[in-house]
Structure 1
Amino acid sequence: MKKKVVVGLSGGVDSSVSAYLLQQQGYEVIGLFMKNWHDDSVTISDECPWLDDSNDAMMVADKLGIPFQTVDLSEEYKERIVDYMFNEYERGRTPNPDVLCNREIKFDVFMKIALNLGADYVATGHYCRKGEIYQNGETVYQLLSGKDNNKDQSYFLCQLTQEQLSKTLFPIGELQKAEVRKIASEQNLVTADKKDSQGLCFIGKVRLPDFLQQKLQPKEGKIIEIEAEKELYASETPNFSNKREELDYMVKKYEYAPSDGKIVGKHQGAHYFTKGQRKGLAVGGTPEPLFVIDTDVVENVIYTGQGKNHPGIYRKGLFIQQDEVHWVRKDLALNTEERLKVQARIRYRQPLQEATLHQTENGMYVIFDDPQASITEGQFVAWYEGEELLGSGVIS
């Protein structure tokens, strides 16, 4: 009996080639297009042609001679992703919809639909790989980075579980992007030269303030500039009586008050801004560009600093609440008071950074060898050992 695979056909080149390769490998392939959520009032409509995407997906399925259908997941998407995003921004945090979309939609709701269709596996066009090792008579699944370093998408899958990985295939993980395009071209797939989609997972290009303004009302507030020479940055490192005190000190945020700096402009809502942001401040006349170093959604104040080397941008570590710590490799999870040397990243495409995990009863500290720019609450940190992504967590 042929094994049955449902491919998430997105209308892009990566998923198209994934379907073709699986067919070549002898699987029975079914194409499924997810309609996730669409709101014309906030998307730059021409840039979010979900209808075009579903047509392209259908044409690819037709060319390959595989069954195809569209599933409407807008309700689940709104509930699990869109509402979550509003809630996070309201709290002054910056969520990552792509990581959530994979965890909540593609590898949960979508996967359940596929398995109900009798599928043995679900496949996606992600640039990452799956490994298998055998321990104590059991198979342990590994999430490995894609061979194309420039396209590696393992970070977006950092919340997957062993159960989800066991049912997943990543057909293009061993390939370079150029090879994927070449295969699509040779097979005359309509998506061969299609540009990669940009923007929010399945929503397309969105004007984020417009998107957020549906729920979060604009509210004028002050933009305050904090000077790099401020004494709060020059404090001596204290003596610590125990390791926990030292860890707390390394992950501590700078606390700002409006009296610490000068007013340089106005904004329409602190919850529309995120740490490290440079565009959209509309404040000119400074020798170096202004960067957001912190936001206060309660007082509706944005704190900024000049230049990308401003000390307010950098921190040595971060903390993850215990219920937000996630191990892809559960067998490697740390016990309280254990430590582990890893490489970690706090955003997609960031080169891996040397770091140490410190597990406590309340959660996990991730301390970097070098201070990191714009550690942002609500984003995900993922940690690796070489090519393997071991786990992740939400920055608190």
Structure 2
Amino acid sequence: MKRVVIGLSGGVDSSVAAYVLQQQGYEVIGLFMKNWHDDSVTISNECPWLDDSNDAMLVAEKLGIPFQTVDLSEQYKERIVDYMFHEYKKGRTPNPDVLCNREIKFDVFMKIALELGADFVATGHYCRKGTIQKEGKDIYQLLSGVDGNKDQSYFLCQLSQEQLAKSLFPIGELTKPQVREIASELDLVTAEKKDSQGLCFIGKVKLPDFLQQQLKPKEGVIVEIPREQDIFNQVKTEFNSEEDKLAYLSRKIDYQIDYGKIVGKHQGAHYFTKGQRKGLAVGGTIEPLFVIDTDVSANVIYTGQGKEHPGLYKKALFVTNEELHWVREDLALNVGETMNVKARIRYRQALESAILHKVDSGLYVEFENPQSAITEGQFVAWYIGDELLGSGVIS
């Protein structure tokens, strides 16, 4: 029997994943990851990780599998929380869930599992793994989950071949309603439990509250840029090269306060992200205001009215070589090569047609249609069919 260590989170997905592995004949061990106990950062009086670890333990008891808790809070703080604060300070918007998978679940946690003699590590993600042979070598594929509504391949977009080789995704072939049904039939305590929201398993955290404890509030102005502003009408159509054109399409507009009018105040530009509508607390506009850019060094938030505001849209983005990652290393592009793909710039976004262009300094992703709120620090992931081939941090 092959041994599998599964990350039991106290949710319904990982509970059913453990059961499916048992049915497939694996020896299953459940581990709960404790990722947070820094009392200096009071997150909330509730203690969700305790409830979750209890639920995970009850599920393990019910299924008759060994169970223990591992404390990864030190590594989590170092690799996820500190990184997040660092990114927000720079005015970027990180994605802790993607990092959490790359750095914690499929790295720190995986190493612990392998030390316990595991052949594989499993999680309750809605995605699938494929294996193909190429030149006599096994190549692992990261495939979308069957449930299009819940597909979580995007969150695993930074995994490597080594990590995929040792991973299993037992519920990738199931839909969420099927998973709930199995949990009910087994009478698992997690059957009706709501899906967790909030930071990747720190629990019930509202991000602004969390950030305020590290990034001190600092008053600044909110500026509204009208859509008629000249900067949106100066459209360049002639370029010396394809790369020039891509650099132009993905450029960051350099907004100035005098391009618009001051409409309000805020408590820190680093709490806001492009495309955000809530939390601005500015009334009296015909259409709601959306954040079109933030300038953290000058502590200014630039906004525009309505979700069709031209400041929200761009046709291309850039990923530097340092932040470019291929799940399928064998398909990585060389300088000068292009690839037609489908891409998304956030979880649950519908896949959009795009072309990848490899250049000396990195990779451009050029979309067929303009994309709203392309946000620095977030991940872009690209697919062919239902296979995720690679990803990168939007720069």
Q: CA deviation at 1:61?
A: 0.5
Q: Contact 1:129–1:145 (CA<8 Å) still a contact in 2?
A: yes
Equivalent residues of 1:278, 1:289 under 8 A apart: yes
The TM-score with structure 1 as length reference comes to 0.98
State the distance in 2 between where 1:45 and 1:322 align.
Answer: 42
* Secondary structure of 1:315 counterpart: strand
Structure 2 unaligned segments of length 5 or more: list them. none
Give per-residue Cα distances to partners, 1:140-174, cap 9 Å, x unaligned: 00000000000000000000000000000000000
1:43 corresponds in structure 2 to: 43
Shifted more, 83-92 versus 234-243: the winner is 234-243
Partner of 1:154: 153
TM-score, length-scaled by structure 2: 0.98
Please list every run of 5 or more consecutive structure 1 residues that lacks an aligned counterpart in the other structure: none
Cα separation, 2, equivalents of 1:216 and 1:386:
41
Contact 1:59-1:190 within 8 A present in 2 as well:
yes
Distance in 1 between the 2:241 and 2:288 partners?
40
User: Does 1:279 find its partner at 2:278?
Assistant: yes
SS in 2 for 1:6: strand
Superposed, 1:241-390 pairs within 5 Å as: 241-390=240-389
Match of 2:88 in 1: 89
C-alpha separation between the residues in 1 aligned to 2:296 and 2:331?
38
Q: Distance in 2 between matches of 1:192 and 1:205?
A: 20
Whichever residue aligns with residue 96 of structure 1, its letter is N
Q: Quote how far apart the aligned CAs of 1:213 are.
A: 1.8
Residue aligned with 1:227, SS: coil
- Contact 1:98–1:156 (CA<8 Å) still a contact in 2? yes
Counterpart of 1:350 in 2: which secondary structure? coil
AA in 1 matched with 2:49: W
**2:147–2:173 Cα contact (<8 Å) kept:** yes
Identity of aligned residues (%): 73
Q: Is the 8 A contact 2:9 2:32 kept in 1?
A: yes
Q: Distance in 2 between matches of 1:119 and 1:375?
A: 40
Residue type matched to 1:59 in 2? L
How far 1:38 sits from its partner (Å)?
3.7
Question: What one-letter code is carried by the residue in structure 1 that aligns with 2:303?
Answer: T
Deviation at 1:42, TM superposition (A): 4.5
Q: How far did 1:237 drift?
A: 2.1
Q: Which amino acid aligns with 2:258?
A: S
Secondary structure of the structure 1 residue equivalent to 2:222 = strand
- After superposition, the C-alpha distances for 1:20-48 in whole angstroms (9 at most, x for unaligned) are 111111110000000001456543443x5
CA RMSD of aligned residues (A): 0.9
- What residue number does 1:128 align with? 127
Determine if contact 1:328/1:389 at 8 Å carries over to the other structure.
yes
Q: Is the 8 A contact 2:199 2:207 kept in 1?
A: no
For 1:260, the aligned partner's letter is Y
SS at match of 2:294: strand
Name the counterpart of 2:215: 216
Letter in 2 for 1:24: Q
Q: Distance in 1 between matches of 2:121 and 2:45?
A: 30
